[in-house]
Structure 1
């Protein structure tokens, strides 16, 4: 898990989201509300497909409009539980929540570093297998 995930505010625009992704060298950001609670996730692909390709204005489209994927795991979850959620929902990034606040993200890269090769291969096969 990457600890200390930075959120984009649900009312911030997509240009800010894209700049944050660039500055943090990440491909996704959790979207948090004014209450500091997770509202969803936005990816670099979401910005391109759902904003740029649709002709929307990066400065006028807010992150909350693209909030999706409210799937997470608790901080005390096992690796197997996290893998199961990622496989079940066909997602590559999973927010980690503790006491109703985001404390990190699990990504494919994290798994690649930590899992034995056979377990990683099984996960990748299940994640990318046609539904």
Structure 2
């Protein structure tokens, strides 16, 4: 099965010039925790609810801060014609739950999530990927030092 068989095709996209408040509203409207960021029909980043919380709010930036100030610019993606088993393996290695989907001209054509892949018959591989995604990345503590 290919990514194009199970990806979400209707994807909201933010621009680097939009405010983080607008991006948060778009996330709320489409019930998503991440948005691809595009500029002139090209994927230039991804902004997540965590980016807004950690890179903006926690750093004292207001709701008018621009998406481009807090987005992740090192974008991981997959191609629509890739096999889902390969993509799941890659998601596990990258420790991500979703990837933007590009065509071979590198234009955004969708987004694929771990749950999209699991719901379309790749349950065992999705479980393996989730196990890799959930592995600890280092020491974490919720106590104040």
TM-score, normalised relative to structure 1 = 0.89
Aligned alpha-carbon RMSD (Å):
1.5
Describe the superposition over 1:19-74 as per-residue Cα deviations: whole angstroms up to 9, x where unpaired. Answer: 111111111100111x2100111111111111112211111x11112221411111
Deviation at 1:110, TM superposition (A): 0.9
* Structure 2 partner of 1:84: 89
Taking a change above 3 Å as real, the CA distance of residues 92 and 130 of structure 1, as seen in their structure-2 partners, is same
Quickly say closer, same or farther: Cα 1:26–1:114, change in 2 above 3 A. same
Q: Where do 1:18-33 residues align within 5 Å?
A: 18-33=24-39
Other-structure match for 1:44: 49
> For 2:80 and 2:29, how far apart are their aligned partners in 1?
26
Alignment partner of 2:28: what SS?
helix
| Bigger proportion of residues as strand | 1
Superposition map of 1:90-129 within 5 A: 90-98=95-103, 99-129=105-135
Q: Give the structure 1 partner of residue 140 of structure 2.
A: none
Which ranges of 4 or more aligned residues in structure 1 deviate by more than 3 Å?
none
Task: Determine helix, strand or coil for the equivalent of 1:56.
Answer: coil
Instruction: Out of 36-45 and 110-119, give the one that drifted further.
Output: 110-119
Structure 2: gaps of 5 or more residues = 1-6, 138-145
How many pairs were matched up? Answer: 129
Name which of 73, 80, 83 aligns with 1:75: 80
Q: Contact 1:10–1:32 (CA<8 Å) still a contact in 2?
A: yes
Unaligned residue ranges in structure 1 (runs of 5+): none
Q: Structure 2 CA distance, aligned partners of 1:93 and 1:118?
A: 17
